[in-house]
């Protein structure tokens, strides 16, 4: 295996390797870490971030960024809890439609005007959070989930794992197929690699960009709805900084911030890696939850530097 191949393997599967190493170290250092209950807790708590990160993977591979997903997550939860009084279908469709429309509008502005995704989605972050506050009377009103069938979607279990975990697995598998085995996925890679060249090759650049932002909005709304079902309420104080966690998980998983490279497997590994870090900090006991942000930030910085060095190594070979 030459240097280029080694660099590519480390870039694509480095997060998975580090995840395995941390699991081994944690299992040896803490007796309770390797217990099935702790493993299930990490997987369940990570499932909602994983759903958002799947959509973020498509956005970043296309060369974009979506800062609105944290606000869409909260809005999706509030709308789902509100809609649950009208039944399961409304509780699911209302957040999906509204969050999907937000993603559509952002995608259209980015694709048609050429504005920077950072600016457009930052405006979306602020606007969506303002809409959520307006719906919830500045956060004073917390809507409760009143439909048992919808609540069971977030609280029901199968083989010790809650239903959102299985939904996440299905979505991840579908996203892998979509990204690796379809023309749409190849278009996403092409746009992220070189947008001008992709356009010259006949790739529908604008349409593909719109699709990835719609997908990101839909998945963020779905994650919020499932979280509301799990908590039996549309909590309005969640989601702050969640967009940064999603971006961190995607980048840690090997997706380049410059676009054109990445995958769903790495993203899932990145999400689980953040969850395992949090679990290890909890096992120590003497460290606060804020320390997890310090560790995650430092780890992200190391990954970005490593990606830069690996990219240089591939160009030199």
71-105: per-residue pLDDT in tens?
Answer: 999 999 999 999 888 888 999 999 999 999 999 99
Three-state SS annotation for 113-182? HCCCHHHHHHHHHHHHHHHHHHHCCCCCCCCECCCHHHHHHHHCEECCEEHHHHHHHHHHHHHHHHHHHC
To the nearest 10°, report the CA torsion of 215, 17, 170, 26.
-110
Q: How large is the angle between the packed helices 3-29 and 264-284, nearest 10 degrees?
A: 30
Question: Distance (Å, rounded) from C-alpha 119 to C-alpha 112?
Answer: 14
What token pair was written down for 140? 């004073």
pLDDT of 262 reads 85
pLDDT band at 301 (very low <50, low <70, confident <90, very high): confident
What is the pLDDT at residue 68?
Answer: 92
Q: Find where tokens 């930052």 sit.
A: 122
Half-sphere exposure of 30 (CA within 13 A, CB side): 17
* Bridge partners (DSSP) listed for residue 162: 157
For residue 202, is pLDDT > 80?
yes
Higher per-residue pLDDT: 253 or 76: 76
Helix, strand or coil, per DSSP, at residue 233: strand
Largest Cα–Cα distance of the chain, in whole Å?
A: 61
Evaluate whether 186 touches 178 at the Cβ level (below 8 Å): no
H, E, C per residue of 44-68: HHHHHHHHHHHHHHHHHHCCCCCCC
- Do residues 245 and 298 touch, judged by C-beta distance below 8 A? no
Provide the token pair at 237: 């104080």
- Residue 123 pLDDT level (bands cut at 50, 70, 90): very high
Among 95, 101, 89, 58, which Cα is nearest to 73's? 95
Model confidence pTM above 0.85: yes
Q: How many CB atoms lie within 10 A of CB 257?
A: 13
* Stretch 47-56: mean pLDDT: 94
Q: Is residue 163 a contact partner of residue 154, using CB atoms and an 8 Å limit?
A: yes
Neighbours of 241 (CB within 10 A): 10
Radius of gyration of the chain (CA): 20
| pLDDT band (50, 70, 90) for residue 217 | very high
Tell me: pLDDT of 6 over 60: no
Q: Residue 161: phi, psi to the nearest 5?
A: -120, 140
Query: Given pLDDT bands bounded at 50, 70 and 90, which one contains residue 162?
Result: confident
DSSP state letter for 86: G
Residue whose structure tokens are 């957040």: 95
The set of residues, in sequence order, having a beta carbon less than 8 Å from that of 24 and lying 6+ positions away, is none
């Amino acid at each position: 295996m030459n240097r280029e191949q080694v660099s590519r393997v480390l870039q694509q599967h480095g997060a998975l390797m580090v995840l395995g190493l941390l699991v081994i170290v944690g299992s040896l250092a803490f007796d309770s870490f390797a217990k099935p209950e702790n493993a299930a807790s990490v997987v369940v708590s990570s499932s909602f971030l994983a759903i958002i990160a799947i959509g973020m993977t498509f956005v970043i591979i296309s060369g974009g960024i979506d800062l609105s997903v944290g606000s869409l997550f909260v809005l999706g939860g509030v709308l789902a809890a509100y809609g649950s009084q009208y039944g399961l279908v409304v509780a699911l469709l209302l957040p999906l439609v509204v969050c999907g429309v937000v993603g559509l509008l952002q995608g259209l502005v980015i694709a048609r005007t050429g504005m920077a995704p950072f600016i457009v989605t930052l405006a979306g972050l602020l606007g969506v959070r303002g809409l959520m506050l307006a719906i919830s009377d500045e956060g004073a009103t917390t809507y409760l989930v009143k439909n048992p069938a919808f609540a069971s979607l977030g609280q029901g279990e199968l083989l010790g794992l809650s239903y959102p975990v299985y939904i996440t697995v299905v979505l991840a598998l579908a996203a892998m197929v979509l990204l690796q085995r379809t023309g749409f996925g190849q278009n996403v890679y092409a746009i992220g690699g070189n947008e001008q060249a992709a356009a010259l090759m006949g790739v529908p650049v604008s349409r593909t960009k719109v699709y990835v932002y719609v997908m990101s909005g839909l998945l963020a709304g779905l994650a919020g709805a499932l979280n509301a079902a799990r908590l039996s309420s549309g909590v309005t104080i969640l989601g702050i900084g969640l967009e940064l966690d999603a971006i961190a998980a995607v980048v840690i998983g090997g997706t380049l911030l410059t676009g054109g490279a990445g995958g769903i497997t790495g993203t899932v590994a990145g999400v689980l890696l953040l969850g395992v870090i949090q679990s290890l900090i909890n096992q120590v006991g003497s460290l606060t939850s804020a320390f997890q942000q310090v560790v995650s930030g430092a780890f992200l910085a190391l990954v970005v530097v490593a990606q830069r060095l690996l990219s240089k190594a591939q160009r030199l070979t």
